[in-house]
């Protein structure tokens, strides 16, 4: 466990292109385990089970995944190849519904096939590899820029609160919401970060606390219901969160609990920043009500983290994975292209 956080590759392609290699995030923080995914079922399952998670990271995993699976298509005509490609694409797209990066990356990959009907199947497959690598490289470049843009809004020694994990583990490298934190750390800003544990899957406790601590950032873990207490003490000067889908009007879907943090930030007069690449903006989605919110297995609430069951057998449980923060609670949306302030017109970016 002595590796630098940036040396841990969240998602990559094996050198021979036959597999997607992911750091299994369900094993963190106990162990750093890499798993190799070489079938469409394995890629689907890894995304569904959050072995790879975070909007940009699942887009990259899906892009690599469809390339890996395209190599296994046996059809030798372009039409046969395209039909099988579409079947794989639709299957992978069904793994998680909320993060737009998943379907956007798959659409980009499909476009490579669609615009090259005159090329051989082999040539198309080579182009698919290049496109998947481009998706990863663009995300890494975007994260760096988001870090610079985000840091321009922060001051040394600030207390910063974050929800879920929008760091290195959620992207190609570096992070979105955590990118300015890492950059500030490099430049001696000495931030004090509060990480919400993020019920029910504990991305804050298991992943954000883990990666910030590993990077030497001053991080304090709190339960989700402690946010108000920490803000009331005056310990938080800015909130930074990631995003899974930003609608044209700025309404933003992110991990369940984010909207509650935004409401508290407004009450205490603390700026609430959403950070994400422009690949997370969905210009076709007019507002938050149009965003499909993933609902997950209720057992994640009742059973998953306990030695024995913590809720009565048969109790009803509601388990939405994301919520929508209305745009009027957002101080600014920070992308690689710049900082957007209200009134948000995200489709113009």
Give the three-state DSSP class for 218.
strand
What's the min distance (Å) between Cβ of 218 and ligand MRU? 21
State which residue, 121 or 238, has the beta carbon closest to ligand MRU.
238
Sequence-separated contacts (24+) of 308-311 with Cβ below 8 Å: none
**Given 66, 171, 227, 262, the residue binding ligand MRU (CB under 6 A):** 171
Is 200 a binder of ligand MRU (CB under 6 A)?
Answer: no
16 is catalytic: no
Q: From the CB of 111, what's the least distance to ligand MRU, in Å?
A: 23
> Which segment (13-21, 38-46, 51-59, 149-157) binds ligand MRU by CB under 6 A?
51-59
Q: Check binding of 162 to ligand MRU (CB under 6 A).
A: no
Residues near ligand MRU (CB under 6 A), total: 18
**Residue 24: phi, psi to the nearest 5?**
-75, 105
Residue 218 φ/ψ, nearest 5 degrees: -70, 105
Q: Facing residues of 218 across strands?
A: 192
Subset of 270-329 contacting ligand MRU (CB under 6 A): 321
Among 13, 23, 40, 55, binds ligand MRU (CB under 6 A): 55
Beta bridge partners of 175: 167
User: Which listed residue (10, 95, 203, 259) binds ligand MRU by CB under 6 A?
Assistant: 203
Cα gap 187→173, rounded to integer Å = 18
Instruction: Check: CB of residue 190 under 8 Å from CB of residue 218.
Output: yes
Query: Does residue 248 touch ligand MRU according to CB under 6 A?
Result: no
How far is the C-alpha of 88 from the C-alpha of 147, rounded, in Å? 34
In this chain, which of 13, 20, 51, 53 binds ligand MRU, going by CB under 6 A? 53
- Which of these ranges, 14-22, 46-54, 301-309, 331-339, lies near ligand MRU under the rule CB under 6 A? 46-54
Of 139, 196, 244, 282, the catalytic one is 244
* Cα distance between residue 151 and residue 184, in whole Å: 7
> Closest separation between CB of residue 255 and ligand MRU, Å?
3
Q: Which residues in 223-242 contact ligand MRU (CB under 6 A)?
A: 242
Q: Are 277 and 338 in contact (CB under 8 A)?
A: no
By the 10 Å C-beta count (0-12 exposed, 13-18 middle, 19+ buried), 126 is classed as middle
Least distance between ligand MRU and beta carbon 278 (Å): 13
Per-residue binding letters, 175-194, with ligand MRU (x by CB under 6 A): -x------------------
Minimum distance of ligand MRU from residue 285's CB (angstroms): 16
Beta strands in the chain (DSSP E): 11-13, 20-23, 34-37, 159-162, 192-196, 218-222, 238-241, 245-247, 252-255, 272-275, 281-282, 322-325, 332-335, 338-340
Return the SS3 of 130. Answer: helix
Rounded to whole angstroms, how far apart are CA atoms 65 and 60?
Answer: 8
Q: Which residues contact 184 (CB under 8 A, 6 or more apart)?
A: 151, 154, 156, 191
Name which position in 138, 211, 244, 251 contacts ligand MRU (CB under 6 A): 244
Q: Footprint of ligand MRU on residues 67-106 (CB under 6 A)?
A: 99
Instruction: Name the site residues for ligand MRU (rule: CB under 6 A).
Output: 50, 53-56, 99, 164, 166, 170-171, 176, 203, 242-244, 254-255, 321
Q: Which residues are catalytic?
A: 244
């Amino acid at each position: 466990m002595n590796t630098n956080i940036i040396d841990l590759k969240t998602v990559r392609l094996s050198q021979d292109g036959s597999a997607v290699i992911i750091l299994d995030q369900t094993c963190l923080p106990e162990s750093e385990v890499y798993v190799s995914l070489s079938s469409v079922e394995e890629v689907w399952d890894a995304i569904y089970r959050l072995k790879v998670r975070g909007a940009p990271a699942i887009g990259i995993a899906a892009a690599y995944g469809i390339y890996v699976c395209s190599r296994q298509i046996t059809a030798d005509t372009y039409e046969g190849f395209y039909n099988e490609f579409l079947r794989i694409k639709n299957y992978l797209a069904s793994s998680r519904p909320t993060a737009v990066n998943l379907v956007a990356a798959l659409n980009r990959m499909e476009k490579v096939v669609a615009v090259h009907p005159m090329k051989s199947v082999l040539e198309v497959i080579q182009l698919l590899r290049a496109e998947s690598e481009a998706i990863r490289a663009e995300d890494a470049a975007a994260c760096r820029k988001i870090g610079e843009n985000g840091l321009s809004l922060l001051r040394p020694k600030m207390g910063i609160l974050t929800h879920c994990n929008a760091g290195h583990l959620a992207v190609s490298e570096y992070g979105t919401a955590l990118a300015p934190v890492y950059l500030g750390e490099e430049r001696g800003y000495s931030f004090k970060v509060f990480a919400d544990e993020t019920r029910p899957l504990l991305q804050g406790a298991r992943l954000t606390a883990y990666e910030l601590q590993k990077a030497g950032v001053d991080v304090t873990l709190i339960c989700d219901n402690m946010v108000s207490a920490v803000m009331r003490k005056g310990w938080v000067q800015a909130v930074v969160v990631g995003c899974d889908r930003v609608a044209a009007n700025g309404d933003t879907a992110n991990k369940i609990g984010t909207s509650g943090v935004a409401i508290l930030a407004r009450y205490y007069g603390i700026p609430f920043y959403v950070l994400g690449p422009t690949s997370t903006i969905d210009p076709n989605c007019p507002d938050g009500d149009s965003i499909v919110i993933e609902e997950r297995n209720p057992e994640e609430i009742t059973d998953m983290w306990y030695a024995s069951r913590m809720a009565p057998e048969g109790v009803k449980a509601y388990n939405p994975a994301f919520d929508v923060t209305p745009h009027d609670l957002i101080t600014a949306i920070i992308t690689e292209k710049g900082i957007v302030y209200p009134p948000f017109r995200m489709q113009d970016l």
